[in-house]
Amino acid sequence: MALKNINPTTTNSWKELTNHFKDIENINIKDLSKDENRKEDFSIQFDDLLVDFSKNRITKKTIQLLVALAKEVGLKDAIESQFSGEKINVTEDRAVMHTALRSTSDVPVLVEGKNIKPQIQTALRKIKSFSNKVISGKWKGYTGKSITDIVNIGIGGSDLGPDMIVESLQFYKNQLTTHFVSNIDGDHVSEIIKKLNPETTLFVIVSKTFTTQETITNAETLKNWFLKSATIFDIPKHFVAVSSNLEAVDNFGIDKGNVFPMWDWVGGRFSLWSAVGLSISLSVGYDNYKALLEGAEEMDIHFRNEDFDKNIPVILALISIWYNNFYLAETEAVLPYSQYLKKLPDYLQQAIMESNGKGVDRNGHKVDYQTGTIVWGSTGTNMQHAFMQLVHQGTKLIPADFIGYKQSLYGLTDHHKKLMANYYGQMEALAFGKSKEEVHLELKFSGDEDKINQLLPFKVFEGNRPSNAILFDKLTPRSLGKLVAMYEHKIYTQGILWNIYSFDQFGVELGKELAKKLLKTQ
């Protein structure tokens, strides 16, 4: 069934939401929180994940109307269309099947009449056996030494996903050192070369198209550097590729047996679950890589089957639309309270902004409402000493996701208690602020009345700033898979509601073309 094609602003639900917004625009989270059931009513527990969305400018009616909007634009059918392999990436005439990559069910998924599950299983077996050989030291370099360093060469989805996951799962990492080269800036690759020994380095070239300027330039530079010490006959021991362009891979000189597949039904920014994640499997071992996929599958099942009002990605998408389209918030922040997740905001910027940064609807008409949100963020507590001043007291409304873990990985309880006190403290400060009266009371003992009145306005926190608390028991490969899949489904939900196509990225093409033209004239 083709995706419906409905301008959301013409729906009954949108009209009702507009009226409802007028009614509650000035509602205050502090007042809403007086309801002792609020936390329970506005939270969803799903296995080891608790999402508390009670600190938002929403009522039960807001959720009801947003859910009605999702139903009116056909979200349920759209989810089925995605999972069942329909070509919902219409502008590129492709299915969107990252969910099939992590599916453990035996139910076939047909793309153009062909079950894609067997090829996915074959690729997984190849990833497993290759990772095991390299990690165990059985895979030898050209002088007979085992591999010590992995270099992932890619950009965009062929870099950000694996890089973010390897960084996030550092705790689970094995003895191999993993490097990521992405930028065309030669200083990037040069800095990495300084750390490498050609005899013990494995290069993983990741490019779906195998034509991306940055990746091919970096790969050539690294190959030339390698060939200063070795010969072309040594390339098979040190270079592997992940790509769907077999001819270009062959021309580069990579052995056929060293090619891992990519398919056109997996978008770059959703590809870490495919062989694009080879560096992940090499870095943390196949079992951890598989657990990552299993966590994502758990979220897939939740997203596909759960009612919208209990569906985590759907609820997060709807709340974000509420701020984006009714409060006209320009940005939203992602704030992980885990140093391991420091690359998550960068990763999500591509996933969210490349997907939903579209100004034309599914009819090909320019939209007359806001679409993709601007996403940014950094880790707590560092960012509290950087940009949080603006989030607390600035003039902009910035809804924020706070991601946290009940347990720390190294068990430094004292640190973790302090970290989590900050996690909760920030959300409370944002939501409830600090009134004039409270500030006055605080200052009462510290100076004369004139001085107090002078200082008062600067020390008041208006509050009423929204946040979602996204809390897992522990950072594991499985919970990380769940988290990433949660955001993927949020993206799709929003694309459906905004009536845009989330899986193409024509917007990145023009700049590339112009750079090529300019290069020729230099």
Catalytic residues: 354, 385, 512
Taking CB under 6 A as the binding criterion, the range among 104-112, 202-210, 355-363, 387-395 that sits at the site for ligand F6P is 202-210
CB closer to ligand F6P, 147 vs 240: 240
Site track for ligand F6P across 314-353, x = CB under 6 A: ----------------------------------------
CB closer to ligand F6P, 510 vs 519: 510
Q: Which of 20, 55, 208, 489 binds ligand F6P (CB under 6 A)?
A: 208
Taking CB under 6 A as the binding criterion, the range among 94-102, 145-153, 206-214, 480-488 that sits at the site for ligand F6P is 206-214
Integer Cα distance of 201 and 204 in angstroms: 10
> Which residue's Cβ has the minimum distance to ligand F6P?
268
Q: Which of 212, 279, 288, 479 binds ligand F6P (CB under 6 A)?
A: 212
Integer Cα distance of 441 and 443 in angstroms: 6
Integer Cα distance of 245 and 262 in angstroms: 8
DSSP letters spanning 76-138: HHHHHHHHTT---BGGGTB---HHHHT-------EETTEE-HHHHHHHHHHHHHHHHHHHHT-
Taking CB under 6 A as the binding criterion, the range among 59-67, 98-106, 205-213, 356-364 that sits at the site for ligand F6P is 205-213
Integer Cα distance of 50 and 69 in angstroms: 25
Q: Which of 43, 132, 209, 339 binds ligand F6P (CB under 6 A)?
A: 209
> Per DSSP, what are the bridge partners of residue 203?
151, 239
Question: Does position 207 bind ligand F6P by CB under 6 A?
Answer: yes
**Radius of gyration of the chain measured on its C-alpha atoms:** 25
User: Of 51, 35, 55, which Cα lies nearest the Cα of 43?
Assistant: 51
Question: Does position 384 bind ligand F6P by CB under 6 A?
Answer: no
Q: Smallest distance from the beta carbon of 243 to ligand F6P, in angstroms?
A: 8
Site track for ligand F6P across 154-173, x = CB under 6 A: -xxxx---------------
Question: Does position 502 bind ligand F6P by CB under 6 A?
Answer: no
CB closer to ligand F6P, 49 vs 205: 205
Integer Cα distance of 456 and 436 in angstroms: 7
User: Of 269, 297, 280, 296, which Cα lies nearest the Cα of 127?
Assistant: 280
CB closer to ligand F6P, 33 vs 209: 209
CB closer to ligand F6P, 211 vs 413: 211
Integer Cα distance of 180 and 161 in angstroms: 11
Within 265-333, where are the H helices? 278-284, 286-305, 312-321
Q: Kindly state the helix (H) or strand (E) to which residue 44 belongs, with its residue range.
A: strand 43-46
CB closer to ligand F6P, 269 vs 478: 269
Site size with ligand F6P, rule: CB under 6 A: 14
Residues 515 and 375: beta-carbon distance below 8 Å: no
Q: Smallest distance from the beta carbon of 218 to ligand F6P, in angstroms?
A: 11
Question: Does position 285 bind ligand F6P by CB under 6 A?
Answer: no
Integer Cα distance of 470 and 485 in angstroms: 14
CB closer to ligand F6P, 146 vs 209: 209
Residues 78 and 4: beta-carbon distance below 8 Å: yes
Residues 150 and 191: beta-carbon distance below 8 Å: no
Taking CB under 6 A as the binding criterion, the range among 88-96, 209-217, 406-414, 419-427 that sits at the site for ligand F6P is 209-217
Q: Smallest distance from the beta carbon of 502 to ligand F6P, in angstroms?
A: 12
Question: Does position 147 bind ligand F6P by CB under 6 A?
Answer: no
Cα distances (angstroms) measured from residue 185 to each of 182, 212, 214, 227, 241: 9, 14, 8, 21, 21
Residues 496 and 78: beta-carbon distance below 8 Å: yes
Question: Does position 505 bind ligand F6P by CB under 6 A?
Answer: yes
Question: Does position 426 bind ligand F6P by CB under 6 A?
Answer: no
Question: Does position 390 bind ligand F6P by CB under 6 A?
Answer: no
Site track for ligand F6P across 459-498, x = CB under 6 A: ----------------------------------------
Q: Which of 456, 508, 514, 515 binds ligand F6P (CB under 6 A)?
A: 508
Taking CB under 6 A as the binding criterion, the range among 86-94, 153-161, 183-191, 473-481 that sits at the site for ligand F6P is 153-161
Integer Cα distance of 15 and 30 in angstroms: 27
Evaluate the omega torsion of the peptide bond into residue 413 and state whether it is cis, within 30 degrees of 0: no
CB closer to ligand F6P, 167 vs 199: 167
Site track for ligand F6P across 233-272, x = CB under 6 A: -----------------------------------xx---
Dihedral (C-alpha) 301, 306, 309, 312: value to the nearest 10 degrees? -10
CB closer to ligand F6P, 269 vs 490: 269
Cα distances (angstroms) measured from residue 245 to each of 207, 256, 520: 8, 12, 25
Q: Which two tokens stand for residue 150?
A: 């992995």
CB closer to ligand F6P, 151 vs 335: 151
Q: Which residues are near ligand F6P by CB under 6 A? A: 155-158, 207-209, 212, 215, 268-269, 354, 505, 508
